[in-house]
A and B are shown apart, each in its own frame.
Chain A
């Protein structure tokens, strides 16, 4: 009986030394860079915030208090629920979904054009032109957007000059700047997976459908989008996850009254020095985001394996 032996096969293909190095690197990545930090955060989230002298003492026991706080607020407060933080949470999730959809709408036509255009030279130039702005620091880009959207910024100036408006519009307060900044921050992560799958679509299929009288809408609905689904799912997942977890753009571009959930996490860690509470908030965000992504994948019948394509 010969059972499949993936490991001996792996070592035969790569040699003992290279095989060991590759295996070690992957394990190091997964265990040291992903699992251990997350597990320690998980552990933190179930502990009390104690002064250093009491850590490891009799009071250092597991508790659900940190999670309770997010749901119900401080004990003895007026309202039954922690409405302030919960609202921020829900708003963050909805806004992240909105940003994801915005990026999808912006990227689909572009990805289709880039993926199907035969003029390879101009396509490559366009892609390079899209990438280069990302060499600029994220914070710098956010501030640049803040300037453009500001009261005396470029957009207001132009609108005033053209007499389209009499008073400058407060784009910051209206969260326009925030959505633009978030949408822009991760737009390439939406574009490239889609571009890759659309590029692999056989152009003859589009022509065959056209030959059979299909309208452009039907061609996209029946042929291009089903083909591009893994790329769309992959792009949407990344944009959603990263927008929900973004900090710089909300910090810089968010209006005075609009908090992003990550800002609360940041405040717990940095301002209140309550890592336990911050960890609980972060874990809630992470788990909710994963559940949302998996739910959407289930609804749109996308397999986890497809995303890796």
Chain B
């Protein structure tokens, strides 16, 4: 990994009157990382970004960039560049003027600016488009111009506030790859704000999942997806089936959960909850739709079996979503890959579902993401 400039948030609190937007955030972002803050709208992720960029002063705690305390340093003096959600390109300036605005500010000559603009336009594959107005570009092109404009200032840290949210699905997926490529090429730290878990998981080295001003978990995409620290993370990142119950037995890293309707369910204790879960505690078990499968002819001895009735089946192209009803009306979702033949889960048919306990997690009960 290249040696970029890291960002540290230390005991960061941000309040607006009585409202606490950010509650005691502690984050270490390594130099050269692609780091995402993921959370629903209003969780405080944009507030953190504004505190890093300098548009907002923290109520308590410190923001360090490259080890330097940023208190009292304005946005124009920080080694950061911000890409706004709506991009905020200057509509009355040509593309090349937009891109090199930070050089204009420093008093660079037109020739220098033109030269740098051409280099950056090359990099974003918009050669020869410098004399257009932003309104003459497509959504994806505007996006790239915004990135070039931010990179022109040669920031140590690039801050991106949901910059892809205005694009259509295809373009958004394409821009994910492109953003990641650009980040690896320039090697600077990217801090990315999003409510889209797909974006966070595909692009980031590390993800911080936020809920109502609190950072619930920081980890790689895998850790956040496979080993969520809290019920909120488990239910917010990706889809999950949740089973509530009491801890019946703990054996090593696994626990057996006693549910009201579905019986005993075995799952891995999520790393963040190891040592915190005791027999008799209220707990939640999460298993992903894709971790569930219909039982074949023979049921392995050690596996849990959940009987269910198929309510509905939706064809998604690459997969089938099967909606089932377990014992006592428990809703369950199962995802099956499309392997070229109907999964034979027709409406009304009875299935026995099973899963590998290593692909399910159990943790103390808590608040779920509301969706």
Interface segment, one of B80-88, B185-193, B247-255, B287-295? B80-88
Instruction: Judge whether B81 and A222 touch: CB under 8 Å.
Output: no
Given A211-B53, A213-B105, A227-B92 in contact, is the A204-B81 Cβ separation under 8 Å? no
Query: Bound state CA distance, A213 and B75, in angstroms?
Result: 8
Which A215-229 residues have C-beta < 8 A from chain B?
Answer: 215, 218, 222-223, 226-227
Q: Looking at chain B, what size class is its interface with the partner chain?
A: 20 to 34
For residue B53, which residue of chain A has the nearest CB?
A211
Instruction: Judge whether A212 and B88 touch: CB under 8 Å.
Output: no
Residues of A within 8 A of B77 (CB): 213
Q: Which of B55, B74, B76 contacts A212 (CB 8 A)?
A: B76
Which A196-220 residues have C-beta < 8 A from chain B?
Answer: 202, 204-205, 207-215, 218
Residues of A within 8 A of B105 (CB): 212-215, 218
Query: Bound state CA distance, A215 and B109, in angstroms?
Result: 18
Which of A202, A209, A211, A222 has the most chain B CB within a 10 Å cutoff?
A211
B143 to chain A, nearest CB (A): 14
Q: Which of B80, B81, B88, B106 contacts A202 (CB 8 A)?
A: B88
Instruction: Judge whether B76 and A211 touch: CB under 8 Å.
Output: yes
Instruction: Judge whether B102 and A207 touch: CB under 8 Å.
Output: no
Query: Bound state CA distance, A222 and B100, in angstroms?
Result: 13
A56 to chain B, nearest CB (A): 58
Instruction: Judge whether B81 and A226 touch: CB under 8 Å.
Output: no
For residue B146, which residue of chain A has the nearest CB?
A208
Query: Bound state CA distance, A158 and B81, in angstroms?
Result: 53
Q: How many residues of A contact B (CB 8 A)?
A: 17
- Asked if B101 is an interface residue, CB under 8 A from chain A, the answer is yes
Residues of A within 8 A of B93 (CB): 222
Which B87-103 residues have C-beta < 8 A from chain A?
Answer: 88, 90-93, 101-102
For residue A229, which residue of chain B has the nearest CB?
B92
Query: Bound state CA distance, A206 and B193, in angstroms?
Result: 21
Instruction: Judge whether A211 and B86 touch: CB under 8 Å.
Output: no
- Asked if B153 is an interface residue, CB under 8 A from chain A, the answer is yes
Fill in one digit per residue for A63-78: 1 if any B CB lies within 8 Å of its CB, else 0: 0000000000000000
Which of A207, A208, A222 has the most chain B CB within a 10 Å cutoff?
A208
B163 to chain A, nearest CB (A): 12
Fill in one digit per residue for B50-84: 1 if any A CB lies within 8 Å of its CB, else 0: 00010100000000000000000011110011101
Q: Which of A208, A214, A226 contacts B84 (CB 8 A)?
A: A208
Q: Is chain A's interface secondary structure helix, strand, loop, or mixed overall? A: helix
Query: Bound state CA distance, A214 and B86, in angstroms?
Result: 20
For residue A204, which residue of chain B has the nearest CB?
B88
Residues of B within 8 A of A222 (CB): 90, 93, 101, 104
Instruction: Judge whether A207 and B76 touch: CB under 8 Å.
Output: no
For residue A218, which residue of chain B has the nearest CB?
B105
Residues of A within 8 A of B104 (CB): 218, 222
Residues of B within 8 A of A207 (CB): 55, 75, 82, 84, 88
Residues of A within 8 A of B74 (CB): 210
Instruction: Judge whether A209 and B84 touch: CB under 8 Å.
Output: no
B165 to chain A, nearest CB (A): 14
Residues of B within 8 A of A213 (CB): 76-77, 102, 105-106, 153
A223 to chain B, nearest CB (A): 6
For residue B161, which residue of chain A has the nearest CB?
A204
B84 to chain A, nearest CB (A): 4
Q: Which of B55, B76, B88 contacts A205 (CB 8 A)?
A: B88
Residues of B within 8 A of A215 (CB): 105
B142 to chain A, nearest CB (A): 13
Query: Bound state CA distance, A218 and B82, in angstroms?
Result: 19
B198 to chain A, nearest CB (A): 25
Residues of B within 8 A of A226 (CB): 92
Query: Bound state CA distance, A116 and B326, in angstroms?
Result: 56
Query: Bound state CA distance, A209 and B102, in angstroms?
Result: 8
For residue A215, which residue of chain B has the nearest CB?
B105
Instruction: Judge whether A212 and B81 touch: CB under 8 Å.
Output: yes
Instruction: Judge whether A208 and B76 touch: CB under 8 Å.
Output: no
Instruction: Judge whether A210 and B76 touch: CB under 8 Å.
Output: yes
For residue A212, which residue of chain B has the nearest CB?
B102
Instruction: Judge whether B88 and A208 touch: CB under 8 Å.
Output: yes
Residues of A within 8 A of B81 (CB): 211-212
Instruction: Judge whether A209 and B101 touch: CB under 8 Å.
Output: yes
For residue B84, which residue of chain A has the nearest CB?
A204
B271 to chain A, nearest CB (A): 38
A137 to chain B, nearest CB (A): 42
For residue A203, which residue of chain B has the nearest CB?
B88
A233 to chain B, nearest CB (A): 15
Residues of A in contact with B (beta carbons under 8 Å apart):
202, 204-205, 207-215, 218, 222-223, 226-227
Given A204-B85, A211-B81, 15 extra CB contacts under 8 A: A202-B88, A204-B88, A205-B88, A208-B82, A208-B88, A209-B101, A210-B74, A211-B76, A211-B82, A212-B76, A212-B149, A214-B101, A222-B90, A223-B90, A226-B92
9 residue pairs bridging A and B, Cβ less than 8 Å apart: A202-B86, A204-B88, A208-B90, A211-B53, A211-B76, A212-B81, A213-B76, A222-B93, A222-B104
Q: Which 10 A-B pairs have the closest CB atoms?
A: A204-B88, A212-B102, A213-B76, A208-B88, A204-B84, A213-B105, A226-B92, A211-B75, A205-B88, A214-B105
